[in-house]
Structure 1
Amino acid sequence: MPKNARVTLCYGPYESSGVVKHRTFRLQGLQAALEARGHQYVLEETREWNMVELVVNGELVFSCNIQQLEFGGDGQLDPVCKEAVTAVDNAY
């Protein structure tokens, strides 16, 4: 990844306990994994339900359902977080 790359972490609302809204609890592991690899990111809310997308320099490099991510944690044991960080590492 280029040094001046900008990672945008786009996330949509999801349902929990009958309430649909934007939450970052499931993003904590992904955020920690990105920071551990030295990446800087910006959080951006989207209207797409249940969606997480990683955009590097305007190019979509990874997407998944937000409920596939583990709740909380540091992302080290979450295989989806590992896949996402690898996609960012390999982005140009």
Structure 2
Amino acid sequence: MNTDFENDFNTLVAKTAELITGDTSPEMIEKIKVWAFFNHVHKALPALTSHWNQSHPEGKAEMRRIFEEIRALNQAKQVAKPDSE
């Protein structure tokens, strides 16, 4: 891949992590990539994710943990956000 594209894409992912969770650590950026990919596949190919969940119960549990962590961080960020009204 083009290095400029990779840098631009990584900037997009980092900004997404910041907006959703408030955390731009390398670990959170990787979690956002996993979260976004799985979320997309789940919506586009639900039978595939269902099959994967059945075949990989440990992976399913880890995916659920990642989704719950991101949701909790997002909710905390929303509560901490000052009222814009």
Q: Same fold (TM over 0.5)?
A: no
Normalised TM-score (structure 2): 0.32
Q: Which has the higher helix share?
A: 2
Normalised TM-score (structure 1): 0.30
